[in-house]
């Protein structure tokens, strides 16, 4: 059984979501599908600028796919995507410094193993460079990210033991549909906005599920 997989079909884990058809099932975090929403939030935040900055992981197999999805979403909204790819966190400070020098005030951080596991370092480096981060992990907003928009992982983890129990009792994984998040959270960290001198539009504030700080 898998947890927090962005696109289990593309990864070859299942044939389709309702009827996995293979010896695997579990929970998708739909992060691969959130590219367009993150672009929309970034565009609203940086108006009237027309260039969105994007930090992504080049060494992750799915990194290029999510980068291309984000680039396409930006083009469809009439925005330009200015990206910096890093192989590991050793390249982080120079990448973010270059973004700031290019005139950026905020950036989308690609949801990836590095951006989750090293989110504290990424957020701290961005803050040092005067940049607000837009994350797809809700927990990141509590760690200092300016904006976070993503699935409720706690709800997902609470459901997982039910699947484990059914499989242990004899249900085939192929007969258990892949579940998608039932709730997506939108958080804004007001303290980070104040520290960076970024004015978050009222249109975003009134839509937020939670304002931090």
Please return the burial class of 101, using the count of CB atoms within 10 Å of its CB with bins 0-12, 13-18 and 19+.
Answer: exposed
Query: 20 and 111: one domain?
Result: no
Q: Do 25 and 74 have their domain in common?
A: no
Does residue 108 contact residue 42 with C-beta atoms inside 8 Å?
yes
130 by Cβ neighbours in 10 Å (0-12 / 13-18 / 19+) ranks as middle
Strand ranges (E), the chain: 2-5, 26-28, 51-57, 80-86, 106-109, 132-135, 147-151, 184-189, 210-212
Q: Is residue 164 in some structural domain?
A: yes
Residues 102, 165 share a domain: no
Q: Which residues contact 111 (CB under 8 A, 6 or more apart)?
A: 6, 31, 34, 66, 135, 136, 137, 150
Predicted TM-score of the model (pTM): 0.87
Average pLDDT along the chain, 213 residues, taken 10 residues at a time: 76 86 84 89 95 95 89 95 95 96 96 93 97 96 97 82 90 90 92 97 97 94
d(CA 153, CA 143): 16
Structural domains counted in the chain: 2
Q: Which domain holds residue 156?
A: 2-29+152-175
What whole-number distance in Å separates Cα of residue 32 and Cα of residue 11? 11
Report pLDDT for 163: 87
Q: Do residues 129 and 158 both lie within one domain?
A: no
Does 181 map to a domain? Answer: no
Return the SS3 of 14.
coil
111 and 159 belong to one structural domain:
no
Q: Which pLDDT belongs to residue 67?
A: 93
Query: Does 46 share its domain with 116?
Result: yes
Q: What is the pLDDT of residue 63?
A: 87
Amino acid 127: pLDDT: 97
pLDDT of residue 30: 76
Dist. CA 188–CA 64, nearest whole Å: 27
Residues 18 and 88 in one domain: no
């Amino acid at each position: 059984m898998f947890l927090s997989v962005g696109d289990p079909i593309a990864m070859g884990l299942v044939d389709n979501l309702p009827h996995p058809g293979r010896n695997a099932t579990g929970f998708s975090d739909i992060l691969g599908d959130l590219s367009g929403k993150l672009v929309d939030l970034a565009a609203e935040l940086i108006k009237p600028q027309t260039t969105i900055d994007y930090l992504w992981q080049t060494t992750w197999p799915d990194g290029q796919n999510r980068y291309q999805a984000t680039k396409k979403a930006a083009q469809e909204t009439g925005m330009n995507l200015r990206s910096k790819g890093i192989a590991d966190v050793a390249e982080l400070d120079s990448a973010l410094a270059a973004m700031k020098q290019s005139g950026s005030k905020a950036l989308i951080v690609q949801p990836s193993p590095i951006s989750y596991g090293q989110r504290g370092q990424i957020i701290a480096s961005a803050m040092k460079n005067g940049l607000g981060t837009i994350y797809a992990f809700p927990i990141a907003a509590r760690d200092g990210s300016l904006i976070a928009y993503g699935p409720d992982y706690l709800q997902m983890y609470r459901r997982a033991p039910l699947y484990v129990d059914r499989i242990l009792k004899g249900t085939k994984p192929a007969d258990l549909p892949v579940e998608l998040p039932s709730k997506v959270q939108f958080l804004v960290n007001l303290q980070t906005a104040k520290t960076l001198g970024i004015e978050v539009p009222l249109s975003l504030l009134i839509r937020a599920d939670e304002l931090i700080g």
